[in-house]
Amino acid sequence: MFITSNGFGLGHVTRCMAISRRLPPEIEPIIFTLSEALPIVRRQGFYAEYFASRDSETADQWNGRLRTRLLATFEQYDPAVVVFDGTHSYRGMREAFEEDPSRKYVWSRRGMWRPGGGVSNLTFTSYFDAVIEPGEFAHEVDQGLTTQHREGVTMVEPILFCDQEELLSREQAEAELDLEPGGVNVLIQPGWENDQYTPTGTRFVERLRREGDRVQIVVAQSPLKSRSVPLPAGLKTVSTYPLARVYRAFDLSVSGAGYNIFHELVGYQVPALFIPNAGTPLDDQVARTRYAQEKGVARSWEDGAEESLEEHLELLLDPAERARMRDRAAALSFGNGAAGAAARIVELVEQREAGPEDA
């Protein structure tokens, strides 16, 4: 059973589904989500349970209900392994873990925390039997606390929903998106968690429209109902899931820099201009995108200044520079860690089935 916290976008559920779809057929995954992405999870063919994020209740009330609901859910489905994907483990969840010690509890905890952040998050590691850490392209510059807490940690490659061979070819993806062949196709996805989605997106659209008809712009809209935002008129939009399936249609992307979107673009070698969100509580997006620029696989637009934007876009609109970025990304490519994470979960299932004396 996977428990996913709400988060701002689809990161947590996407990681859980990426691992789930690589489990052997005899293991039935259940996704217990706090995210409004429930319909997306179901459309991907997973069995899902839903528990609404806290709204009008007090923290005590909500945690109390979460604890009761989790204990009932454990009793109903008897999961051998429970994987939590999120940065902060909820009190109600920890209490349920403590009350039912018969299962293996796993924390899917990505790294790249902002330096010094997340001290209290780490104190709850003791509630978990194992930690799976989805890999990070920029791990060399990771200064976060998780780098010092390695006990019980299994590190896998970055976790992606799709494998390379699941992506549509450029021709197929262009046809699906109704794009004219031969153009320079740009995907704009400034990050659904970002309050600046509309102003930033609009700014890029206006700038890229000055390039004339050769540039075809597509704006990614969140498949989550509540995250729909108004955009300039006459734009082509895409709201498919998983969006990565159509990435090969694009010559470049202007994009937010959350874990999933970043690793998808770098992993699938799509040249990108990343806009890191410096205001996230834990995710060190600035360090991540800066590293990508240093390595020559993408550009990082941190200062929001018009001049630097021009400089970045000039580079990204140059076909030779894009080809260099793709080559460097290919040279530094990584595998998909979803299979490794699934293998670790299978081990834990087997340990639990074997009983405590063999574990």
Partner 1 sequence: MPRRIYLALISRLSRKQAKRLQSIVMALRPRARRRAAALAALTPEVHLMCIAWGVDRAELERIRDRMLAIGGRRPERMLVVSDCDALFGKGSCHFEYIPARAEWEQRFDPADYDGFVARRISEIAVSFRARRVVALGEIPEPLLYSLAGKKIGPAEEPPALEPPPAA
8's CB contacts (< 8 A; 6+ apart) are: 192, 193
Q: Which is nearer to partner 1, 151 or 358 (CB)?
A: 151
Instruction: Give the tokens for residue 353.
Output: 């089935």
Question: Which residues in this chain contact partner 1 in the complex, by CB under 8 A?
Answer: 28, 36, 38-39, 42, 47-50, 52-53, 55-58, 60-61, 63-65, 68-69, 72, 76, 119-120, 122-123, 125-127, 149, 151-152, 225-226
Nearest distance from C-beta of residue 291 to partner 1, angstroms: 27
Q: Which amino acid, one-letter code, is at 117?
A: G
Which of 130/159 has CB closer to partner 1?
Answer: 130
CB of 238 to partner 1, least distance (A): 22
Q: Give min distance, CB of 320 to partner 1, in A.
A: 46
Minimum distance from CB of 21 to partner 1 (Å)? 15
Looking at the DSSP bridge assignments, the partners of residue 236 are 218
Q: Under DSSP, is residue 288 helix (H, G, I), strand (E, B) or coil? A: helix
Least CB distance to partner 1 at residue 92 (A): 9
Residue 43 or 214: which CB sits closer to partner 1?
A: 43
| Structure tokens belonging to residue 28 | 């039935």
> What's the rounded Cα separation, in Å, for the pair 209 and 252?
15
Our CB check for partner 1 shows the closer of 103 and 299 to be: 103
Peptide bond into 242 cis (omega under 30): yes
Q: Give the shortest CB-339-to-partner 1 separation in angstroms.
A: 23
As measured in angstroms, the least distance from the Cβ of 345 to partner 1 is: 18
Nearer to partner 1, 152 or 296 (CB): 152
CB-nearer residue toward partner 1: 56 or 140: 56
* Residue 116 CB neighbours (<10 A): 9
Angle ∠(6,53,144) on CA atoms, nearest 5: 40
Q: Which is nearer to partner 1, 151 or 165 (CB)?
A: 151
Query: Is residue 186 a contact partner of residue 215, using CB atoms and an 8 Å limit?
Result: yes
Q: What is the 3-state secondary structure (H, E, C) of 85-147?
A: ECCCCCHHHHHHHHHCCCCEEEEECCCCECCCCCHHHHHHHHHCCEEEECCCCCHHHCCCHHH
